[in-house]
Amino acid sequence: MSCYTINNNDYSKDGIGRLRELVGLTGDFEYDQEALEAVQLARYANMNVEASQAEAAAANSKGGMAMLDAHIHCCTKFPWLILVLSILGSHTGIYVNAYQAEGGFSPQTFGIAFVCEMLSMIGMMFWWFFLLPLCLPLIVYVFSIFWGYKVMQKSK
């Protein structure tokens, strides 16, 4: 069994012709490269307009928490993983979710987890001050569980 590699990065007639030959399609074909590019640009423009309108409508209906949606990343294989990690280890789930971003590591999500860790540490260090700072780790814990829930919802 042999493997064929077709370099079709420039949308050349030769590359598509070789592909048709390998697949078994016959006959001559012609296409207008400028028309194809115009169709692709129109599709991308429509997608971007529709997506931005949907995001604006969602942000208006959800209020302040909609700002977090950009930093909450889907978990394709185990959507429940972040919730379990948040229940067991507080902001650890947010750290793991930072590495599940679509384009790779997300420094913004990592920063949110780091701020949560700092708040937890500050609360533990200054617990003696009227026991009020002990609320910080509890708030971080509840926020982390909320984060895991939002990841599950976004991953559906």
Distance CA 70, CA 47 (A): 17
Distance CA 111, CA 114 (A): 5
Instruction: Write down the pLDDT at residue 144.
Output: 92
The chain-wide mean pLDDT, for the chain, equals 77
Show me where the domains of the chain are located: 72-156
Name residue 84's amino acid. V
140: alpha, beta or left? (left if phi > 0; alpha if psi -120 to 50): alpha
Helix and strand totals (H; E) in the chain:
6, 0
Largest CA distance in the chain: 83
Instruction: Write down the pLDDT at residue 145.
Output: 93
Name residue 136's amino acid. L
Structure confidence by residue, pLDDT tens digits, 65-79? 677 777 888 877 788
Instruction: Go through the chain and tell me how many residues it has.
Output: 156
Structure confidence by residue, pLDDT tens digits, 97-112? 888 877 778 889 899 9
